[in-house]
Structure 1
Amino acid sequence: MKLHLKHLLLVLLLAGGSAVAQDESYDPKLALKLGADAYGMKNYILVILKTGDTQMEDKAKRDKIFAGHMENIKKMAESEKLAVAGPFGKNENAFRGLYIFNVTSMEEAKELVSSDPTVAAGLLKAEYYPWYGSAAMGQVNEIHNKIAKEKF
């Protein structure tokens, strides 16, 4: 048994192979474009937006600020810095929405969030977390634009 295992390892080494299987559908150009590691994953910054400390009774002003929030999301997505965004349903944690940023630093994510009118107005506040997920997230906005019948 030991002899067969040694022969198998020798054949793999001589053939330049690896004991780890590689899927034949692997696209190295796409992996490079999306910044994927060997597992097809990469690091992101996950931001949870929670209800802020500011209460705003003026509905027209509040609506204008949230319209700016949506415009800002669109701008960040177009710049490819924002991989995904979306709201939460009602919950006990005051979670309102999330951003997953395709950036390399927490500081860059904080700078992007500071451009959000709802955060600047104190209607929302942000919590930041490093997150490791599929590099395919880099294609979500492109695909979303193809399937969204109506735009914000």
Structure 2
Amino acid sequence: MFHALRFLVSAALLALPVACASAGKTPAATATPPAYDAALAERLGADDLGMRSYVLAILKTGPQDAAITDKDQRAELFAGHFSNMGRLAEDGKLVLAGPLGGEDGRRGLFILNTAYIATAQEWVASDPTIEAGIFTVDYSKYYGSAALMQVNEVHAKIQKKGIGE
């Protein structure tokens, strides 16, 4: 998928002069040059396309989810789950997280600040809900905008309440 995305982006960039020429315009006349910030791109780990590699982790319903029915135990496990996510985010390891709708057992996602699945597995293994078998995790390499690295910083500025408040 990574190579297919790069191919599509490259193909789109190569097609730009042709599309502009067919409209009677030159590429320079059709768009304002972007305000490229080399220091920001370097800080976020961006490549020339403004992208970078991550690992996508999909949390799925685990084999012990239905078996763990004690409300206090579940509350404690999920408190640990949110605490673990907070720690990973503070450490710069968790870029983005959120719940999913449950279709096909998919319950949540993490985007992790690493290009290596083995590293992501180490980071996520410390989650109490995963250790307890409430969730299992499927991992995949993901190539996306380096701007995702700013999500936690921006989110902290717009969040009125913490989870569980």
> TM-score, with normalisation over the residues of structure 2?
0.77
Instruction: State the partner residue of 1:73.
Output: 85
* 1:128 maps onto 2:147 in alignment: no
Q: Matched residues in 1 for 2:34 and 2:106: separation?
A: 41
Equivalent residue of 1:133, what SS? strand
Q: Matched residues in 2 for 1:49 and 1:61: separation?
A: 19
Q: Matched residues in 2 for 1:33 and 1:83: separation?
A: 14
Q: Matched residues in 2 for 1:125 and 1:108: separation?
A: 16
For residues 71-150 of structure 1, the aligned pairs below 5 Å read 71-91=83-103, 93-150=104-161
Equivalent residue of 1:150, what SS? coil
- Number of aligned residues: 132
- Give deviations 1:66-118, integer Å, cap 9, x for gaps: 00000000000001111000001242x10000000011311110001101000
Structure 2, gaps ≥5 residues long: 1-27
Q: Matched residues in 2 for 1:119 and 1:24: separation?
A: 43
Q: Matched residues in 2 for 1:118 and 1:90: separation?
A: 16
Instruction: State the partner residue of 2:56.
Output: 46
- Which one has the bigger helix percentage? 2
Instruction: State the partner residue of 2:13.
Output: none
Structure 1, gaps ≥5 residues long: 1-18
The structure that has the greater radius of gyration is 1
Q: Matched residues in 2 for 1:33 and 1:149: separation?
A: 27
Runs of 4+ with deviation above 3 angstroms: 21-24
Instruction: Give the root-mean-square deviation of aligned CA atoms.
Output: 1.5
